[in-house]
Amino acid sequence: MNNNQTFKLIYVCSGNVFRSVFAEGYTKKLLAERGINNINVFSCGIVADKSFKMPESIKKLYELYQIKQKDIHTHIPTKISEEILADANLILVMDMLQIEFIDKFFPQYRYKTFLLKEYAGFFSQPEIFDPIGQPEAVYLSTAEEIKICVEIVVEKIIYDVLRKEIKNEPS
């Protein structure tokens, strides 16, 4: 892919310690495997705070899926902001809490904000709920749900970005 244009994808959850962090890391892994370097991926949370601790499950999942494109050990939960959203091409959220938050505080970005599951084409039960405080099996199930959606989303984005590049190439 050419590097003239960069696509910016933002994942949003509540605390930026599990769902959006897993989606970000797994997306970066898939893009690296495909040699795609003009899609930037970030994550943030609507109530994120630097003091929030990462659940051990996220570290295990990064190992399990061999995600090396994001260092989970140095991740600092990041709160959603105008600066983060300003130049995003696509904002994918996990549940309706994030949709409502963006509607209220960043309505100018609502048009490019979607539930991750809906964007991936799953319309029944379109929310990915927060597993915080649940048994480890719930974290794994949540990660699997995110993984399936991210695989579909990455293919859609690559297709869209490639299609735009082909249209913009001189004849």
pLDDT tens-digit series, residues 18-69:
999 999 999 999 999 999 999 999 999 999 999 999 998 999 999 999 999 8
Please give the model's pTM, rounded to 2 decimal places.
0.91
Indicate if the pLDDT at residue 140 is higher than 60.
Answer: yes
Sign of CA dihedral 16, 32, 8, 159: negative
Residues 155, 161, 162, 165, Cα dihedral to 10°:
180
* Token pair for 86: 């300003």
1, part of any domain: no
Q: Are 48 and 18 in contact (CB under 8 A)?
A: no
**pLDDT at position 3, please?**
45
109, part of any domain: yes
pLDDT tens digit string along 81-91? 999 999 999 99
Angle, alpha carbons 39-168-154 (nearest 5°): 25
Nearest-10 crossing angle of helices 136-168, 19-33 = 50
Of all residues in the chain, the percent with pLDDT exceeding 90 is 81
**pLDDT at position 161, please?**
75
91, part of any domain: yes
Distance separating alpha carbons of residues 90 and 111, to the nearest angstrom:
9
Indicate if the pLDDT at residue 169 is higher than 60.
Answer: no
Which residues form the domain of 28?
Answer: 7-161
* Number of structural domains in the chain: 1
169, part of any domain: no
Phi, psi of 47 (to 5 degrees): -125, 20
pLDDT tens digit string along 75-119? 999 999 999 999 999 999 999 999 999 999 999 999 999 999 999
137, part of any domain: yes
Q: What is the CATH number of the domain that holds 56?
A: 3.40.50.2300
170, part of any domain: no
Angle, alpha carbons 36-38-41 (nearest 5°): 90
Q: Are 132 and 97 in contact (CB under 8 A)?
A: no
Binned at pLDDT 50, 70 and 90, residue 2 comes out as very low
User: What end-to-end distance do the CA atoms of the chain give, in Å?
Assistant: 17
* 171 vs 89, residue with greater confidence: 89
Q: What average pLDDT score do residues 153-161 get? A: 90
The length of the chain is: 171
**39 CB-near residues (< 8 Å, 6+ apart):** 6, 7, 8, 9, 31, 157, 158, 161
Indicate if the pLDDT at residue 4 is higher than 90.
Answer: no
